[in-house]
Each structure stands twice: as C-alpha cells, then as structure tokens.
Structure 1
Amino acid sequence: MNEDDGRVDLQQMRYVVAVAETRNFTRAAERCSVVQSSLSHRIAALERELGVKLFARSSRRTEPTSAGEAFLVAARECLAAADRAAADAAAASGAVRGRLAVGVIVTTAAVDVAELLQRYRARHPDVRVFLRGGRSDDLTAAVRGGGLDIAFLGLPEGDLPAGVESLVLDHDEHVLVVPAGHRLAGAERVTLREIAGETFVDFAAGSPARAQSDQAFAAAGLVRDVAYEAQVALMTGLIARGLGVALLPSAFIGPRVAADPELALVPVVDGPRRVEYLVWSRFNPSPATRALLDVLGVREPRAADS
C-alpha cells in the first residue's frame, strides 16, 4: 500500500514474499536491501489497510497466516507480471533481461548445463538464472504452471511430457552398475532375467526415474527386490560397498564409473531405455526463455505447428 493513496504497491508485495520465503524479517530486509524497521513498518501498514494479519510472529518463528498465504498467491502473480512487462519492454529494444528459472534432473547427460549457461551468460549477462533440481514429473508440472521457464527431463521410452512444448535431446539405454568384485563384473552382456534375483538400489518409487526400470521388468514378467531407494549420488556408494546393483542411464553413469575402480558396467540386452527432453511453456515464453532456446539452436514451433 502506498501510504499516500491507500493502494498496495509492488514493493510491499516484494517485502511480503521475502518474509514468507525467509521466515525472518531481518533476512527479508537484507534480501530487499532495506533497513528492517522500514520493511516491518510497510508490512504493518499493509496489514492495517487490509484488516488482516499476514504473518504470525513469535520470538523464534515467523510464518504466513491463512490470509497471508492467500495474499502471497496473488502477490507472486503480480510480481511475475511486472517482471515480465519489464523484460518484454527491454526485449523490444533488443536487450534481454529479467529472470530465467531452469529445472534440471540430476542425471541430465544430453546437454552440459553448466557449459550452456556459460554461453548464455556471455550473450545475456543481465538475466538472473535460477536452477532447480527435481523429478521429471515435478519439473514438468512446474513448467506447465509457470513456476519454471524451461527444464531438462528424462522419461521412460514411450512417455511424453504433457501440456508443454518439448524437444527430444537424446535416446539412451540403461546399463547395470555392479561392484568391481561382483560375479557379473566383466560380463559381455546380461538380460533382465539373469539379474532379476539381485538386490537393487534405485530411485524413489513412483518417480519417472524409477519407472524406467520398473516398466522394463514388468514388461518382461519379472519381479525384483529394491532394497534401497536413494539419490544417485548415494547409489554409487551403496553399490561399491556391495549392498546392491542398479540400472542407470549409460550416458550419465559411464564417465563416472570409468573414473571409479570400485564399480563396473555391464550392458543389458533388454534393459530400460529413456528419452531426454527439453521442455518449455506453450504459452508465450518469456524473452529470457526464447534467448536460451536460441543459444541451444531450437526453433520454436509456430502456432500452426502445435
């Protein structure tokens, strides 16, 4: 709210979002580059104008009230619209500015994301890039809902990203990862039936990464034992200690196993296959998103193509 005319302003919205995200007035003031007394005063004035408390405060905790949560939804939408308006205005004059939110699965291998962002920054230094990791289904939903601008995914062969624009980046086969001293280490190749009796390490049940292996075993009429569910960084440690084996995308795991004498790879004849995708919003991508697509050499589909 502007204290002169009684209207809520963008700066107050930024203050409320900052407090909600940091759960702390001092850290929120630091993020907004303002003294805490000024931030607190502006939020208190906003609460008086609205007639509701936006935050529940104690000596140890600060969190949004139900009214605060409702206000945050619209505030974030308004701030995003304001940022987009500024970015569009800059783009009209040939400059790309604003914010780019990128989702990345941990096993991305088709694109060197760090190298891509290095090239992107060289062309567009005024864009602030935010990276978010997660599951392919969650990242797709975030792109569809506007929480992310673009994302790199991996899905089982035959599954398609829904409600977003998508581009196939690569096709890959899974390989069996075993301890170096395992009975199958050094085997020329194996089948799913030959390894179904092994103890497995895999991703969380229900995730697209897990579905890649689950679907392959189900299609072969086989059942396996997944004793450990973990992130890939922990998987290799579990495997090296003889606690299980895993099926992982070859393009991702190959270079890592090559540098680790405690692990070995074995090709799987009828193993899982995955497709890596690039996805972005179908609805009016931001200038920053279009600029990243351009760095990747991606031609956006026209309305008649989609």
Structure 2
Amino acid sequence: MELQQLRYVVAVAETLNFTRAAERCRVVQSALSHQIAALERELGARLFERTSRRVRLTPAGEAFLPAARQCLEAADRARAEVAAAGGEIRGRLAVGAIPTVAAVDLPVLLRDYRRRHPRVRITLTSAGSQDLIERVRRGGVDVAFLGLPPRTEPKGVRSLRLGGGELVAVVAPDYHLAEREVELRSLADEPFIDFRAGTAGRAQSDEAFAVAGVRREVPFEVSSADFMVDLVRQGLGVGMLPAAYAPRFPDLRVIRLRGAPARVEHLVWDNRPSSATRAFLELVGAGHAGGVSPPE
C-alpha cells in the first residue's frame, strides 16, 4: 500500500469522478485507475462501484476512507515537522472562527501569518462555538476562535482567554426605541432576532434574561450576524451583538444595556499542535498580555 494510492482513493471519493480525480492528481486516468485496482486487489475488496453514470463508495470504501485520510495527514505532518526542525514552517493551518470575532483582527492576523510562513496552506471556516470545539477535537480544525458565556469553559481542548465584553442591542434607525441606554428587562416585550436556540451565541442572551427574571420572544432565529443585521435593518426586531463588533454596522442604532449579557472569547487548539499551529499560537500570543505558552 502506497501513499499515492491513498491520495487517488481520496480524490475519487471527493470528486466521485475518475477523470476529475486524475486531473486533480495530475496523472492520466488510466494510471489512477490502475493504481486503485491494484490497491483493491491487495485489500481483497472493491472500494468503488463504477457504472457509466456514476461512481460511489462501496461499504468497504466508506470504511477505508477515514483511515486513508488519517494516513495522508500523518505523512504531511511528518514532512512538516522535519521541515520545522530545519527552521521552515510548512504544512496546513485550518482556522475556525465564529462570525463575530472581536478580540483579534483576524484578517490582519492571517495576513501576518502568511507573510511569515508562506509555505503553510491556510484555510478558514466559520461556524458556531460548539461546532468548532468538536472540529478541533476531531482534528478537522487546528485552531478556533470562540465566544462563550462567562461561566462556560471549552472542554476537551487547550484554550486561551482572549478577552470579554458585554453585548449591546442594535435596532434600525427608525425603530420606536429612542433610548441610548436601558435596563435589559425593559426589552422583554420586544421581538428579538437572535441565533438559534441551543447555540453558544444564543445562550449568553438567554442566561442574562433569565437572571433578570423575565422572558422574551425570539421569533427570528438566524445562523449568522450578517443575516441578523439584515433583519434588524428592516425594523423586524432587536438584535444582540458584542459591543466591540457592533460598530461595524454604523447605520444601526446601538442601545447599551444595564444588566447586559456578556461573553468571553477563547482561542482553542488540540493537545498535539503541529509546527504550523504552534507558530500561529506564538503570533497570537505576541499581541496579548501574558502571551501563549509554547505547547508541550
């Protein structure tokens, strides 16, 4: 079994097309097909069902694919660690972030990292905090920026607190609320636009209203801050955003809250960071009091 064969299997599994897989791997299709057939003979099982109309994984292929990806990732990591020993950082850096990161200027941070380490392949994905924690645990994401309620700590990963802050209410310019600052409980009768129930982004607001002893209605549930803002602009209700993030939308009116919800932003990573991840942690630490201790 050779690494190149594993790459071919992964390429076919992801494209579901032998021709496109061969183009991705920069080989002729006959060579790719021959190598996959040789691997199937070695394994004693077919990995793909192939007809004139479609290609799909067999049950054996479904079982084989995760292990093949792990082997390729391990090989890539081994090469990256050898390069790091010689002073060159390479490999991959998969970054995850909630949409409302405010504790760092993430675009600038990624720019600076790329300038320092141009051989690292950087990717960025946006998701909710709990989803990102799980992706870090599974190895799909190397580092992630989260926002959690103050009493909640990320579990199963290593973490650094980046900072905290209160949420503010945001409304359309012509919304009937005219105050610049109000008690949180006074908004209980307003329709709210917030993140989906059960998410970390929603929990911080729900907890604050619970502490205030009032219930609120959330008729509009969204999955992104941009969608929330779009609905707020139409006067459909009150949105809740971190105070440090709300200035990105100067056309909205901001209402500060007494008894406001709060959140803490965290940077998380797994227990065995790669050289590319360690370099990113060092870069983040250089811009924060206390820094980031080099992972063991």
Query: With structure 2 as the length reference, what TM-score do the two structures score?
Result: 0.92
User: What does 1:1-306 align with in structure 2 at a 5 Å threshold?
Assistant: 8-185=1-178, 187-230=179-222, 231-256=224-249, 258=250, 260=251, 263-283=252-272, 285-296=273-284, 297=286, 298-300=291-293
Cα separation, 1, equivalents of 2:38 and 2:61:
14
The residue that corresponds to 1:4 in the other structure is none
Q: 1:106 to 1:50 in 2, by over 3 A?
A: same
Please report how far the alpha carbon of residue 39 of structure 1 lies from its aligned counterpart in structure 2 after TM superposition: 1.8
> C-alpha offsets along residues 8-67 of structure 1, whole Å, 9 cap, x if unaligned?
111111111122223332332222222233222222222233222222334554332221
Cα separation, 2, equivalents of 1:244 and 1:22:
43
Cα separation, 2, equivalents of 1:83 and 1:182:
54
Shifted more, 171-180 versus 140-149: the winner is: 140-149
Secondary structure in structure 1 of the residue aligned to 2:244: helix
> C-alpha offsets along residues 210-258 of structure 1, whole Å, 9 cap, x if unaligned?
11111111222221111111122111111111212111111112222x1
Cα separation, 2, equivalents of 1:223 and 1:56:
55
Unaligned stretches of 5+ residues in structure 1:
1-7
Return the letter of the residue paired with 1:82: A
Secondary structure in structure 1 of the residue aligned to 2:258: coil
Shifted more, 61-70 versus 236-245: the winner is: 61-70
Q: 1:286 to 1:179 in 2, by over 3 A?
A: same
Cα separation, 2, equivalents of 1:61 and 1:216:
52
Unaligned stretches of 5+ residues in structure 2:
none
8 Å CA contact retained: 2:182, 2:256: yes
Q: RMSD across aligned C-alpha pairs, in angstroms?
A: 1.7
Cα separation, 2, equivalents of 1:192 and 1:198:
11
8 Å CA contact retained: 2:278, 2:294: no
Shifted more, 18-27 versus 65-74: the winner is: 18-27
* Aligned pairs, number: 290
Cα separation, 1, equivalents of 2:149 and 2:53:
45
Query: With structure 1 as the length reference, what TM-score do the two structures score?
Result: 0.89
Cα separation, 2, equivalents of 1:221 and 1:52:
62
Cα separation, 2, equivalents of 1:64 and 1:250:
48
